[in-house]
Amino acid sequence: MKRNILLTGGARSGKSSKAEELAKEIGGRVLFVATADAGDADMQYRITRHRNSRPASWDTIEASRQIGKRIMETKKEYDVIIVDCLTMLACNVVDSSVNQMGEDVSEEVVEGLLKNETDDLIQAIKALKSTFLIVTNEVGLGIVPDNRLSRLYRDALGRANQRVAESCDEVIFLISGCSWHVKGAPPLSKTGR
């Protein structure tokens, strides 16, 4: 049965691990969509570590932008599609906007570009029979950032998270490796309880 699940929480809360665990439980053909760009040696190391930790049988698309379109262009059918993560997608949109238009880029431009990205992803979610497991971060739980670009990023990601959550059947919030269903009913345990 198709389920679309948004997994959210803070950094290192267990979101990606939970998505991978759910994909293994669901089984079948898995597509992993990675959105991170290797901008420096640390990110390259992280990307390599993540690549090596995934099962070899999973297909991977590495796309820093246009993930919905890239998913729709795949010619294979998948039981599960993991998108990891919206947080990096939003970062890529902000970085690209700043690189093209400078630090004075308007909130409307960034919001519009990220809305296009999430609309394309939502279209893929609706069009395909695959279960989607979408990872993102809750970045608005702390203090208000002290600079304009950080606030712009936080706000754009928050709105993108809301749009994607609305299109999902379930939303799971993770904290310290523990999960809490905030939308949709949690699945029955394997014992049927």
Question: For the segment 122-154, what is each residue's pLDDT rounded down to a tens digit?
Answer: 999 999 999 999 999 999 888 888 899 999 999
Summarize pLDDT for 172-192 with one digit per residue, the tens.
999 999 999 999 977 655 544
Q: Which residues of the chain have pLDDT under 50?
A: 191-193
Spatial strand order in the sheet of 80-84: 59-62, 30-34, 80-84, 131-135, 4-9, 170-175, 178-183
Closest listed residue to residue 122, CA positions, set 75, 155, 169, 77: 169
Distance between CA 73 and CA 27 in Å, rounded? 22
pTM summary value: 0.91
Domain boundaries, the chain: 4-183
- What CATH number was assigned to the domain covering residues 4-183? 3.40.50.300
181 is catalytic: no
> So what's the pLDDT on residue 40?
81
> So what's the pLDDT on residue 193?
42
* Alpha helix stretches (DSSP H) within 54-138: 67-73, 86-101, 107-127
Exactly one of 50, 69, 151, 159 is catalytic; name it: 50
> So what's the pLDDT on residue 86?
96
